[in-house]
Structure 1
Protein backbone atom coordinates (compact mmCIF):
# COMPACT_ATOMS: atom_id res chain seq x y z
CA UNK A 1 0.00 0.00 0.00
CA UNK A 2 1.28 3.45 -0.92
CA UNK A 3 -0.40 6.32 0.88
CA UNK A 4 -0.38 9.92 -0.29
CA UNK A 5 -2.35 12.22 2.03
CA UNK A 6 -4.61 14.64 0.18
CA UNK A 7 -4.69 18.24 1.42
CA UNK A 8 -8.06 19.17 2.89
CA UNK A 9 -9.64 22.55 3.49
CA UNK A 10 -9.62 22.57 7.28
CA UNK A 11 -6.94 20.13 8.42
CA UNK A 12 -4.46 20.65 5.53
CA UNK A 13 -4.26 16.91 4.94
CA UNK A 14 -3.29 15.96 8.48
CA UNK A 15 -6.47 13.90 8.79
CA UNK A 16 -5.49 11.98 5.65
CA UNK A 17 -1.98 11.47 6.99
CA UNK A 18 -3.29 10.02 10.27
CA UNK A 19 -5.68 7.65 8.51
CA UNK A 20 -2.87 6.32 6.31
CA UNK A 21 -0.34 6.01 9.12
CA UNK A 22 -2.73 4.11 11.40
CA UNK A 23 -3.03 0.94 9.33
CA UNK A 24 -3.62 -2.23 11.33
CA UNK A 25 -0.89 -4.74 12.10
CA UNK A 26 -0.09 -6.82 9.03
CA UNK A 27 -0.90 -4.06 6.53
CA UNK A 28 2.41 -2.33 5.76
CA UNK A 29 2.07 1.06 4.14
CA UNK A 30 4.59 3.47 2.62
CA UNK A 31 3.42 6.94 3.64
CA UNK A 32 4.53 10.01 1.72
CA UNK A 33 4.28 13.77 2.19
CA UNK A 34 0.97 15.58 1.94
CA UNK A 35 0.02 16.81 -1.54
CA UNK A 36 1.87 17.05 -4.85
CA UNK A 37 5.36 16.48 -3.44
CA UNK A 38 4.16 13.27 -1.81
CA UNK A 39 2.49 12.10 -5.01
CA UNK A 40 5.68 12.72 -7.01
CA UNK A 41 7.79 10.87 -4.45
CA UNK A 42 5.31 7.97 -4.36
CA UNK A 43 5.55 7.68 -8.14
CA UNK A 44 9.35 7.67 -7.99
CA UNK A 45 9.25 5.05 -5.24
CA UNK A 46 7.04 2.79 -7.35
CA UNK A 47 9.18 3.32 -10.46
CA UNK A 48 12.30 2.42 -8.46
CA UNK A 49 10.66 -0.81 -7.31
CA UNK A 50 9.54 -1.74 -10.83
CA UNK A 51 12.95 -0.84 -12.27
CA UNK A 52 14.48 -3.85 -10.50
CA UNK A 53 12.83 -6.11 -13.06
CA UNK A 54 12.58 -3.77 -16.07
CA UNK A 55 15.86 -2.67 -17.67
CA UNK A 56 14.21 0.02 -19.82
CA UNK A 57 12.58 1.57 -16.77
CA UNK A 58 15.86 1.26 -14.84
CA UNK A 59 17.69 3.18 -17.58
CA UNK A 60 15.07 5.96 -17.60
CA UNK A 61 15.19 6.22 -13.81
CA UNK A 62 18.99 6.39 -13.88
CA UNK A 63 18.84 9.19 -16.49
CA UNK A 64 16.25 11.07 -14.42
CA UNK A 65 18.39 10.78 -11.28
CA UNK A 66 21.50 11.94 -13.15
CA UNK A 67 19.66 15.01 -14.45
CA UNK A 68 18.24 15.67 -10.99
CA UNK A 69 21.77 15.52 -9.55
CA UNK A 70 23.10 17.95 -12.18
CA UNK A 71 20.31 20.44 -11.48
CA UNK A 72 20.88 20.26 -7.73
CA UNK A 73 24.66 20.59 -8.14
CA UNK A 74 24.23 23.69 -10.31
CA UNK A 75 22.06 25.48 -7.74
CA UNK A 76 23.57 28.52 -6.07
CA UNK A 77 22.73 28.84 -2.41
CA UNK A 78 22.07 32.28 -0.96
Structure 2
Protein backbone atom coordinates (compact mmCIF):
# COMPACT_ATOMS: atom_id res chain seq x y z
CA UNK A 1 0.00 0.00 0.00
CA UNK A 2 1.38 3.42 -0.94
CA UNK A 3 2.04 5.85 1.86
CA UNK A 4 0.87 9.41 1.60
CA UNK A 5 3.81 11.78 1.97
CA UNK A 6 3.35 14.82 4.13
CA UNK A 7 5.00 17.90 2.69
CA UNK A 8 6.14 20.68 4.96
CA UNK A 9 6.27 24.12 3.39
CA UNK A 10 9.74 25.41 2.58
CA UNK A 11 8.54 28.92 1.81
CA UNK A 12 5.96 31.22 3.36
CA UNK A 13 4.13 33.63 1.05
CA UNK A 14 2.85 36.39 3.32
CA UNK A 15 0.40 39.07 2.20
CA UNK A 16 -0.89 42.09 4.10
CA UNK A 17 -4.35 41.83 2.51
CA UNK A 18 -6.27 39.77 -0.02
CA UNK A 19 -5.78 42.54 -2.58
CA UNK A 20 -2.08 41.54 -2.70
CA UNK A 21 -3.01 38.18 -4.25
CA UNK A 22 -2.88 39.42 -7.84
CA UNK A 23 0.80 40.27 -7.32
CA UNK A 24 1.72 37.23 -5.24
CA UNK A 25 -0.10 34.78 -7.51
CA UNK A 26 2.82 34.91 -9.94
CA UNK A 27 5.21 34.07 -7.11
CA UNK A 28 3.15 31.00 -6.25
CA UNK A 29 3.04 29.93 -9.89
CA UNK A 30 6.85 30.04 -10.08
CA UNK A 31 7.14 28.07 -6.84
CA UNK A 32 4.74 25.47 -8.30
CA UNK A 33 6.84 25.21 -11.47
CA UNK A 34 9.99 24.71 -9.37
CA UNK A 35 8.31 22.11 -7.19
CA UNK A 36 8.78 24.16 -4.02
CA UNK A 37 6.28 23.51 -1.21
CA UNK A 38 4.82 26.69 0.23
CA UNK A 39 1.99 28.03 2.29
CA UNK A 40 0.25 31.33 1.71
CA UNK A 41 -1.40 33.50 4.31
CA UNK A 42 -2.93 36.91 4.68
CA UNK A 43 -1.60 38.43 7.88
CA UNK A 44 -2.10 41.95 9.12
CA UNK A 45 -0.67 43.27 12.37
CA UNK A 46 -3.76 45.45 12.67
CA UNK A 47 -6.46 42.97 11.67
CA UNK A 48 -5.04 39.72 13.07
CA UNK A 49 -2.56 40.60 15.83
CA UNK A 50 -2.79 37.09 17.34
CA UNK A 51 -1.00 35.62 14.30
Please state which band the TM-score falls in when normalised by the shorter chain: 0.3 to 0.5
The structure that has the greater radius of gyration is: 1
Higher relative contact order (CA 8 A, sep 6+): 2
TM-score of the pair, normalised by structure 1 = 0.29
Normalized per residue, the structure richer in helix is 1
